[in-house]
Amino acid sequence: MRILLVEDDDGIALPLVKGLEREGYEVDRVANGAGALAHEGADLVLLDLRLPDLDGFEVCRRLRSASTVPIIVVSARGEEADRVIGLELGADDYLVKPFGLRELVARIRAVTRRAASAAVDAPAVEGSQRLGELEIDRRTHKVLVGGEPVDLTPKEFALLALLAEDAGAVRTRGEILDQVWDPHWYGPTKTLDVHVASLRKKLGDPGIIETVRGVGFRVRDDSEASPRP
């Protein structure tokens, strides 16, 4: 497995590269955002936010828009707002410095397991599913509203697809975090609310995803879901 480490501080990067190599990983290290965006072939990205040329959040956004490669943010910025922004932009996990190598390796393994599982698991509803004006195509990862395409991040798509599998049924917060994020999710649960708010805005209908207070969320079933091959 090849890891791309994006870290400008040699004092952090060099021992981290050695530690990860001892764990059996191949590690490429770049010291700026431009290097991260130009790199090819990584199976996972470890991304610092304080970079000399580009803001780490912008690097995360660009990486996610171009690829589904798993991204773990590793940063000294530990405020909840920073965590939520990173996760909203498409990071798969967020680890605050200082951290131990054992925890980092555990996070890497969890994220890669989740990515592998998502790649092989068949969706409960296959093909194109229509709910009123909303159409979800799981094969192509495309979403249309009234025939117009909607640009969603991978996490937003996974969240919408999960809720739409049984339109009208409530999914608990824990169930959503387990299936869309990870059964051993370490991040703030507020990230789920952030993704729901973003989906409502992008879909153009604040009521399309309903909050069931104290339980979770459901997609409003305006019409019978009609899977098509």
- Whether residue 127 has pLDDT greater than 80: no
Q: Please, what is the average pLDDT of the chain?
A: 86
| pTM score, whole prediction | 0.62
- Rg (C-alpha) for the chain, rounded Å, is 18
CA distance 52 to 91: 20
CA distance 10 to 14: 6
Output the CA–CA distances (angstroms, integers) from residue 41 to 70, 116, 140, 161, in the order listed.
Answer: 12, 16, 22, 28
Which domains are assigned to the chain? 2-120 (3.40.50.2300), 128-219 (1.10.10.10)
| Tens-place pLDDT, residues 35-66 | 999 999 999 999 999 999 999 999 999 998 88
| Tens-place pLDDT, residues 71-103 | 999 999 888 888 888 887 888 889 999 899 999
Amino acid 225: pLDDT: 40
CA distance 150 to 134: 10
Tokens standing for 139? Answer: 């094969």
Amino acid 223: pLDDT: 55
Bridge pairing between strands 142-145 and 148-150:
antiparallel
CA distance 199 to 151: 10
Which among 79, 94, 68, 86 is positioned nearest to 195, based on CA atoms? 86
CA distance 123 to 177: 17
φ and ψ of 72, to 5 deg: -115, 120
CB 188 within 8 A of CB 83: yes
In SS3 terms, 5-49 reads as EECCCHHHHHHHHHHHHHCCCEEEEECCHHHHHHCCCCCEEEECC
Q: For residue 185, what pLDDT band results from cuts at 50, 70 and 90? A: low
- Whether residue 183 has pLDDT greater than 80: no
| Tens-place pLDDT, residues 143-165 | 999 999 999 888 888 899 999 98
Amino acid 227: pLDDT: 41
Amino acid 42: pLDDT: 94
CA distance 80 to 127: 37
